[in-house]
Amino acid sequence: MCLLMYLVILLGNSTLIILTLLDSHRHTPMYFFLCNLSFLDIWYTSSFIPSMLIHFLSEKKTISFTRCVVQMSVSYTMGLTECVLLAVMAYDCYIAICNPLRYPIIMNKALCIQMAALSWGLGFLNTLTETILAVQLPFCGRNVINHFVCEILAFVKLACTDIYLNEITIMLVNVIFLFVPLLLIYISYIFIRSTVLRINSAEGRKKVFSTCSAHIMVVIVFYGTILFMYMKPKSKDAAFDKLTALFYGVVTPMLNPIIYSLRNKEVHGAMRNYTARLVLEERMRNLHF
């Protein structure tokens, strides 16, 4: 099941990136950020799913210290980056709906690149700080990680010393990267809602709202899973906690391209045009021969 979902993640996100690159009409801020999200999901899942699948099938479930640190760092960077990126995409929706006449001027190429770079940079720098603090801890004992993957909190709990500083740092970073972007997303949609309600026709309101409906669904799935995972009462059943983390790590990246494809008519059109072009090229090739 995990293998099938991983293949869907690779196929769905790669298709969105390829369609955007091939079609010049989709070289817009929304598709630029969507490509970043798809690229991020591919890297995030590829950092742990292949090794997790191998461990599912092997009796000896071991991982080297270096591989564990790399896996932990990459997955954590991608998770933090996605939090910021979703807030950036909410700002893009806000400008597109609330200030449409100035949208091309405000959301210019330079600003889009800067906002994407800020998302990646914040995720990388925070992960680098926490990783440096984690690898300096002394490890002694069996070093058995009670998780499917090398998750940072499970990793630091293996240390045979006081990890109070690490736990406080992880908690602060999680709170900042979860609630600050979520607050910005919420504020953006307050302004979007007020703009939509001022539109007289129901058809016009529906058309404007559909512009950001895919983003809303992705935010609900992403933040809903994270908030449930971190804010629910501590379960005595460790397996349930692991399955919740697995849902966040595998199912959410799989749903992102599906949601954007189902809710976005332009993606449907691009896929049809690309398929038709391939069929036409194949027919022309056969006709030539």
Instruction: Tell me what the mean pLDDT of segment 55-71 comes to.
Output: 88
Confirm whether 225 is domain-assigned. Answer: yes
**CATH number assigned to the domain comprising residue 3:** 1.20.1070.10
Distance between CA atoms of residues 279 and 257, nearest Å:
24
Give the residue among 16, 1, 3, 68 at the shortest CA–CA distance from 259: 16
Confirm whether 273 is domain-assigned. Answer: no
Domain count, the chain: 1
Confirm whether 172 is domain-assigned. Answer: yes
The full 3-state SS of 68-134, as one line of letters, equals HHHHHHHHHHHHHHHHHHHHHHHHHHHHHHHCHHHHHHHCCHHHHHHHHHHHHHHHHHHHHHHHHHH
Query: What residues contact 54, with CB distance under 8 A and at least 6 apart?
Result: none
| Residue 233: per-residue pLDDT | 62
Instruction: Tell me what the mean pLDDT of segment 186-208 comes to.
Output: 82
Confirm whether 289 is domain-assigned. Answer: no
Confirm whether 288 is domain-assigned. Answer: no
Enter the pTM of the model.
Answer: 0.85
Confirm whether 279 is domain-assigned. Answer: no
Structure confidence by residue, pLDDT tens digits, 1-13: 889 999 999 998 9
Confirm whether 104 is domain-assigned. Answer: yes
Q: Is the dihedral of CA 242, 244, 247, 250 positive or negative?
A: negative
CB of 88 within 8 A of CB of 33? yes
The range of the structural domain enclosing residue 44 comes to: 1-264
Structure confidence by residue, pLDDT tens digits, 92-149: 988 988 888 888 899 999 999 999 999 999 999 999 988 998 888 888 877 888 788 8
Distance between CA atoms of residues 12 and 78, nearest Å:
18
DSSP single-letter state for residue 157? T
Distance between CA atoms of residues 20 and 15, nearest Å:
8
Confirm whether 190 is domain-assigned. Answer: yes
Distance between CA atoms of residues 286 and 289, nearest Å:
5
Largest CA distance in the chain: 73
Element (H, E) at 200: none
Lowest mean pLDDT segment, chosen from 56-65, 73-82, 187-196, 277-286: 277-286
